[in-house]
Chains A and B, each alone.
Chain A
Amino acid sequence: MKTIGRSLAFYLKYLEEMEVFYESEDEDINEDLLSEVSNRDEFNEMIMQVGKRADDQAMALLTEAIERVKKTFSTDVTCKDIRNRWGWEKSLWLWPKGKKKHNPRQWQTGISFHENYKGHPCFIAWVWAKGGQRSENNIAEILTDRKVVARSKDLDWNSGTLAIGILPLDVQNVDNFEVNTEPFMAEVDRIYKEIAPVLPKIFSI
């Protein structure tokens, strides 16, 4: 079984704690909280190691997922990696294959981590088109409600963005931190295979 990595599973399971101890500045951590820790140096070192590994594992997971997206789109769509500029996210520029006259910076897709979507952390697959709310409305019409999980205002993301899938990673009931990657990847395949046939319509808006 291929897993997402123990550190990432741990991080997601203890997200609130990792935010406090891994992401906050040392001086912002309430000293009282550490009164339960027997060896602070060991504790801090372990937190840092798990945090850094989780970062690497999240990016490896997203890289694999985005490679599958490229493969799904390979026949009709040209994909170009977008340099990651924040957090756990991988994204692509998209444009129709073989099209000579095109604006290559008009359409994107990607998968991003959301710390608190409807009360839970999750990874969200999304599409984006230049043109703000007007483009978003047009895409929503093309995809219909069945494929659109959330709109930009629900996520407070840039307008033009629509969530097309929430990717499953159940870490809460896993004791050994071994979380199978397959359901996640299978959902990536399913979502993007559904989207692929309507991309020409999206490119024409």
Chain B
Amino acid sequence: MAISPNFIKDLKFVFDHDRCNNAISNQFLSDLSKVHRMVTFGDVKMAEESSIDELLNLGRQLDKIRSYTRDKVTEKIEPLRKTDPENPLFCNVSLYAPMDYGRLEVAHTRTLAWLLDPSKEHGFGASLLSALFPLFDDEIAKNRPFKIKDVRSENLHYDSDNEILGRTDIWIEGKWDDNKKSFLIVIEAKIDAPEGKDQLDRYEKAIYGFNIEDVFCVFLTPNGREAEGKKGRNWHPISFSRIAGRFAVVSRDLKKAPGYYYLRFYITSIIRDILGWKKIEESNPYQLLSYLDQMKGEI
């Protein structure tokens, strides 16, 4: 892929002769094309297209992975159908579909805030909130008893100059029982829309203005993608399929609670409306496997 040693000499020749069409060598044109790609893309190797064979080979590997994943899904679904027939995966009633709110962010974030608030009428206590902590992959949050002080949705924040910083979707303040220190969970959910310009930066300003030691920022999306421009920062990318999976596991022990059917229909709304699993056999097998993997987990 190296550029020929004559390139600079050829470039000078072209520069010195403005009527040199017949004198430009193919080698020079090829070099020029490589330089163009290098300048445009920063890397010659990256800019060059893969061959059809290379892509077919990669496609075959991905076909195998897809087939393996589908087999795994089938392997896990059949026993689940027997042991947990009330699992929302087998439910057809979505909480939001009749209202056409299935992909409406605010409907989901308000519902999540309500479900995660132990003081609400659902009777779940802090069960659903406890189910979230293992998703943070953070030792600090594991198996520690806590109390919740406040759960708010669309919490409006201002900076020190009274300028609006934005509204965080879900804001949960609590205290660890063991050391009485405060913690904060902030959830920003995105279903189809992208995050706004500097949105998470502004939220971080608000969050760290509170001087709370243990902060868990969650970026909740259908496929668990990372926040734009936030690689390596503190927003845990979590998918709706993992949340649905965790909630489905916990809901097995909540069947006598007043909010059980509400929760079941809500999880079904995540499954059918956000994740788009209208029919199991047509679902995204990777998200489905991620959901099913939660089923075996201990809370």
Question: Chain A: residues with CB nearer than 8 A to chain B?
Answer: 5-7, 10, 13-14, 16-17, 19-20, 23-25, 27-28, 30, 32-37, 43, 46-47, 49-50, 52-53, 56, 85-87, 114-116, 119, 153, 155-158, 175-177
Chain A residues near B228 (CB-CB < 8 A): 85-87
Given A14-B59, A119-B276, also A6-B290 (CB < 8 A): no
**B62 engages A156 (CB within 8 Å):** no
Chain B residues near A46 (CB-CB < 8 A): 50, 54, 58
Chain B residues near A35 (CB-CB < 8 A): 68
Q: Indicate the size class of the contact surface on chain B.
A: 35 or more
User: Which residue on B lies nearest to A39, using beta carbons?
Assistant: B61
**A6 engages B50 (CB within 8 Å):** yes
Q: Which B residues between 209 and 231 are near A, CB-CB below 8 angstroms? A: 222-226, 228
**B72 engages A13 (CB within 8 Å):** no
Given A23-B225, A25-B237, A119-B276, also A17-B193 (CB < 8 A): no
Chain B residues near A87 (CB-CB < 8 A): 194, 228
**B104 engages A156 (CB within 8 Å):** yes
Chain A residues near B62 (CB-CB < 8 A): 14, 17
Q: Mark B138-172, 1 if CB is under 8 A from A, else 0.
A: 00000000000000000000000000000000000
Between A and B, 28 residue pairs with Cβ closer than 8 Å are A5-B49, A6-B49, A6-B50, A6-B52, A7-B55, A10-B55, A14-B62, A16-B66, A17-B65, A20-B286, A24-B223, A25-B237, A30-B286, A30-B293, A36-B65, A37-B61, A52-B46, A53-B50, A56-B47, A85-B194, A86-B228, A115-B223, A119-B276, A153-B100, A155-B192, A175-B56, A177-B52, A177-B55
Does B289 count as interface, using CB distance less than 8 angstroms? yes
**B276 engages A43 (CB within 8 Å):** no
A96 to chain B, nearest CB (A): 26
**B68 engages A157 (CB within 8 Å):** no
Given A47-B58, A52-B46, also A32-B52 (CB < 8 A): no
Query: How far is A36 from B105 in the complex, measured between Cα atoms in Å?
Result: 37
Chain B residues near A156 (CB-CB < 8 A): 103-105, 191-193
**A28 engages B224 (CB within 8 Å):** yes
Does B234 count as interface, using CB distance less than 8 angstroms? no
**B72 engages A32 (CB within 8 Å):** yes
Chain B residues near A24 (CB-CB < 8 A): 223-225
User: Which residue on B lies nearest to A23, using beta carbons?
Assistant: B225
